[in-house]
C-alpha cells in the first residue's frame, strides 16, 4: 500500500481557500470590509512568512460561522464554490490525483483550513479522505471555536497519525508515501514522507527543496 497526501491551498488550488472565503463574505457584505479586509490580508501574509499564530487566526476565521444558521452558510458556500473555488483548481491537480488513484494509493487531502470550507472542495476533487482543522459545532450549528488540534505545521503530523491509527494503520503500513505542498509551514510533514514534492513552492520551501534534491513541480 502507498500513501499520497495533498496540501490544498496554493497546491491543488492556485489560491488560498481560507483567504478567498473571507473575501467572499466581505463581498457579500456579511463581513464589514473596513474591519475584516486588512486583517484577512495580514493573516495571509503571516501564513506565507511562517509567523502565523494559528489560534489567533482561527478565532478570526471561525467566529463568523457562529453568527449565521448552517443553512445560510451552506447556501453561501455553494455560491462560493462556483464563483471562487472551481476557477482556482490548478490545471494539473486532477491529473496528479488520478495518477495516484490509478495506482490504488490511499489519497488524502490534509489542510490547515477548516472542514466547513474544505469538505466541498475535496468532494469536487474526488478525494473522500480529508484531514482538516475541525470547527466546533453544537446541535448542527457552529460555535465559533476550534475542536481539537488544528491541522497546522507539526499538528498535521499528529492529526495524520491519529487518523491512521483509527484505521489500524501506521507509517509502516505504507511502502512509499508522498506529500505535495507549496508551503514552508509544511516542512515538518514533508520531512516525514519518503517522497516530498514541492508544488509551486514559496521561496523558503523552494530553497530547501533545491538543497535536498526534492522534486519541484508546477500544477499551474
pLDDT in tens, 98-122: 999 999 999 999 999 999 999 999 9
Provide the pLDDT for residue 38: 85
Question: CA 16 → CA 57, 149, 163, 199, 211, distances in Å?
Answer: 14, 21, 24, 14, 27
Provide the pLDDT for residue 117: 97
Neighbours of 85 (CB within 10 A): 21
Active site annotation includes 18: no
Low-confidence ranges of the chain (pLDDT < 50): none
CA-based R_g, the chain, Å? 17
DSSP 50: T
Q: Give the residue from 120, 128, 122 showing the smallest Cα distance to 93.
A: 122
Domains belonging to the chain, first-starting first, are 2-217 (3.40.50.1000)
Helix (H) or strand (E) holding 122: helix 115-124
pLDDT digits over 153-168, tens only?
A: 999 999 999 999 999 9
List 7, 16, 105, 200, catalytic entry? 7
Provide the pLDDT for residue 150: 95
Provide the pLDDT for residue 118: 98
The answer to whether residues 111 and 127 touch, using CB atoms and an 8 Å cutoff, is: no
Provide the pLDDT for residue 64: 86
Amino acid at each position: 500500500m502507498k500513501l499520497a497526501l495533498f496540501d490544498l491551498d496554493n497546491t491543488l488550488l492556485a489560491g488560498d481557500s481560507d483567504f478567498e472565503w473571507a473575501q467572499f463574505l466581505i463581498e457579500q457584505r456579511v463581513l464589514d470590509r473596513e474591519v475584516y479586509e486588512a486583517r484577512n490580508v495580514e493573516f495571509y501574509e503571516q501564513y506565507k512568512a511562517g509567523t502565523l499564530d494559528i489560534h489567533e487566526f482561527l478565532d478570526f476565521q471561525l467566529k463568523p460561522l457562529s453568527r449565521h444558521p448552517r443553512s445560510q452558510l451552506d447556501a453561501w458556500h455553494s455560491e462560493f464554490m462556483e464563483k471562487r473555488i472551481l476557477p482556482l483548481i490548478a490545471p494539473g491537480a486532477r491529473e496528479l490525483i488520478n495518477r495516484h488513484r490509478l495506482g490504488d494509493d490511499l489519497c488524502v487531502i490534509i489542510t490547515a483550513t477548516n472542514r466547513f470550507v474544505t469538505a466541498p472542495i475535496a468532494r469536487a476533487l474526488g478525494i473522500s479522505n480529508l484531514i482538516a482543522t475541525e470547527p466546533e459545532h453544537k446541535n448542527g450549528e457552529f460555535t465559533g471555536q476550534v475542536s481539537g488540534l488544528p491541522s497546522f505545521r507539526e499538528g498535521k503530523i499528529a492529526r495524520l497519525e491519529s487518523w491512521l491509527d483509527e484505521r489500524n494503520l501506521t507509517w509502516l503500513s505504507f511502502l512509499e508515501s508522498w506529500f505535495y505542498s507549496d508551503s514552508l509551514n509544511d516542512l515538518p510533514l514533508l520531512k516525514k514522507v519518503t517522497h516530498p514534492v514541492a508544488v509551486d513552492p514559496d521561496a523558503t520551501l523552494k530553497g530547501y527543496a533545491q538543497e535536498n534534491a526534492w522534486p519541484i513541480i508546477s500544477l499551474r
